[in-house]
Amino acid sequence: MNYAFLPDLLALMILIVILLLLRRRHPQGRADIWLLGLFFTLVEAIAHPFYPLNGPPSKPLHLIVMDCYLMGGVVFIWASGGYPFSRNAELLYLAVNTLPLLAISTLYGLHIYSPLAFFACMASGLVIGVTSSVYLRGNWKFAILHVCGWLGMGYLIHRAEYRQAVYWSLCCVYTIAALNFQRRLARNSTGKLAIVTGFTIWSLNLLLHPWIVVYREYAEIASHIWNMQKSLISIGMILVMLEEQVSSNEWLALHDELTGLPNRRLFADRLSLAIERADRMRSRLALLILDLNGFKMINDTMGHQAGDQVLREVSSHLRKSVRASDTLARLGGDEFIIVATDLEPGQSADHFVEAVRSAMEKPILVEGRSMIVSASLGMAVYPDDADDSIKLLRIADQRMYALKRRPELPPKIGGNLKAGVADSTTIAIASGQG
Stretch 318-340: mean pLDDT = 89
**C-beta pairs of 108-116 under 8 Å, 24+ apart in sequence:** 108/62, 108/66, 108/162, 108/163, 108/166, 109/59, 109/62, 109/63, 109/64, 109/65, 109/66, 109/67, 110/59, 110/62, 110/63, 111/56, 111/59, 111/62, 113/160, 113/162, 115/157, 115/158, 115/160
What confidence score (pLDDT) does residue 324 get? 84
Confidence bin at 57 (pLDDT 50/70/90): confident
Whether residue 238 sits in one domain with residue 272: no
CB 427 within 8 A of CB 375: yes
Residue type, 269: D
User: Cα 206–234–82 angle (5° rounding)?
Assistant: 70
164 and 230, same domain (yes or no): yes
Residues of the domain holding 335? 264-433
Query: Element (H or E) spanning 431, and its range?
Result: strand 430-433
pLDDT of 210: 85
User: Are residues 231 and 143 both part of a single domain?
Assistant: yes
Q: Is residue 202 part of a domain?
A: yes
Query: Can you state the angle between helices 350-361 and 304-321, rounded to 10 degrees?
Result: 140
What pLDDT band is residue 346 in, cutting at 50, 70 and 90?
low
Tell me whether residue 314 is in a domain.
yes
Residue 431 is predicted with a pLDDT of: 29
Could you tell me if residue 259 is inside a domain?
Answer: no
pTM greater than 0.85 (yes/no): no
- 165, 302: one domain: no
Instruction: State how many domains the chain has.
Output: 2
User: Could you report the per-residue pLDDT of 194-244, keeping only the tens digit for each?
Assistant: 999 999 999 998 998 888 777 766 666 767 677 788 888 989 998 988 888
| Domain-embedded: residue 408 | yes
Nearest to 424 by CA among 357, 358, 331: 357
pLDDT in tens, 131-171: 999 988 888 898 999 999 999 999 999 999 999 999 999 99
Q: What tens digit of pLDDT does each residue of 68-83 get?
A: 999 999 999 998 875 5
What CATH number does the domain containing 292 carry?
3.30.70.270
Secondary structure (DSSP) of 345-357 = TT--SHHHHHHHH
* Residues comprising the chain, all counted: 434
Q: Give the phi and the psi of residue 263 in degrees, each rounded to 5.
A: -95, -175
pLDDT at 345: 66
pLDDT exceeds cutoff 60 at 429: no
Strand-pairing partners, residue 422, are 417
Say whether pLDDT at 419 is over 70.
no
Render 273-337 in DSSP notation, one character per residue. HHHHHHHHHT-EEEEEEEEETTHHHHHHHH-HHHHHHHHHHHHHHHHHHS-TTSEEEEEETTEEE
Contacts (Cβ under 8 Å, ≥6 apart) of 351:
none
Do residues 168 and 30 both lie within one domain?
yes
Q: Is position 356 within any domain?
A: yes
pLDDT at 48: 78
- Coil, helix or strand for 377? strand
Q: Of 226, 254, 282, which residue sits at a domain end?
A: 254
Q: What DSSP letter does each residue of 192-220 carry, written as one string?
A: HHHHHHHHHHHHHHHHHHHHHHHSGGGHH
* DSSP β-ladder status, 375-382 and 327-332: unpaired
User: Is residue 24 classed as helix, strand or coil in its secondary structure?
Assistant: helix
Number of H helices, E strands in the chain: 14, 9
Question: Is 400 a domain residue?
Answer: yes
- Tell whether 168 is covered by a domain: yes
Please state whether 87 falls in left (phi above 0), alpha (psi between -120 and 50) or beta. alpha
- The Cα 409–Cα 425 span in angstroms is 9
Domain co-membership, 273 together with 249: no
Helix (H, G, I), strand (E, B) or coil at 75: helix
Highest mean pLDDT of the ranges 98-107, 295-304, 311-320, 400-409: 98-107
Q: What is the pLDDT of residue 267?
A: 92
Pair type for strands 327-332 and 417-418: unpaired
Task: List CB contacts of 306: < 8 A, sequence separation 6 or more.
Answer: 298, 299, 366, 367
406 band by pLDDT with thresholds 50, 70 and 90: low
Q: What is the DSSP letter of 3?
A: G
Q: Does residue 248 share a domain with residue 316?
A: no
CA 196, 200, 110: angle at the middle one, nearest 5? 125
Is residue 49 located within the same domain as residue 115?
yes
- Average per-residue pLDDT for the chain: 84
- Residue 428 or 262, more confident: 262
Question: Are 205 and 324 found together in one domain?
Answer: no
Confidence band, pLDDT 50/70/90 cuts, at residue 175 = very high
> 425 and 287, same structural domain?
yes
- Residue 200 inside a domain? The answer is yes
**Which of 204, 232, 254 is a domain's end point?**
254
Which of 254, 281, 311 terminates a domain? The answer is 254
> How many whole angstroms separate alpha carbon 338 and alpha carbon 267?
9
Measured distance CA(422)–CA(284) in Å, rounded: 18
Question: C-alpha 229: how far from its chain's center?
Answer: 25
Q: How far apart are CA 101 and CA 166, in angstroms?
A: 8
Assess whether 206 and 276 both reside in one domain: no
**Do 247 and 274 lie in a common domain?**
no
Dihedral, CA of residue 34, residue 38, residue 41 and residue 45, to nearest 10: 170
Average pLDDT for residues 345-372, to the nearest whole number? 80
Radius of gyration (C-alpha) of the chain in whole angstroms: 31
Residue 414 has pLDDT above 50, yes or no: no
pLDDT at res. 27: 65
Q: What is the CA angle 420-426-432, rounded to 5?
A: 165
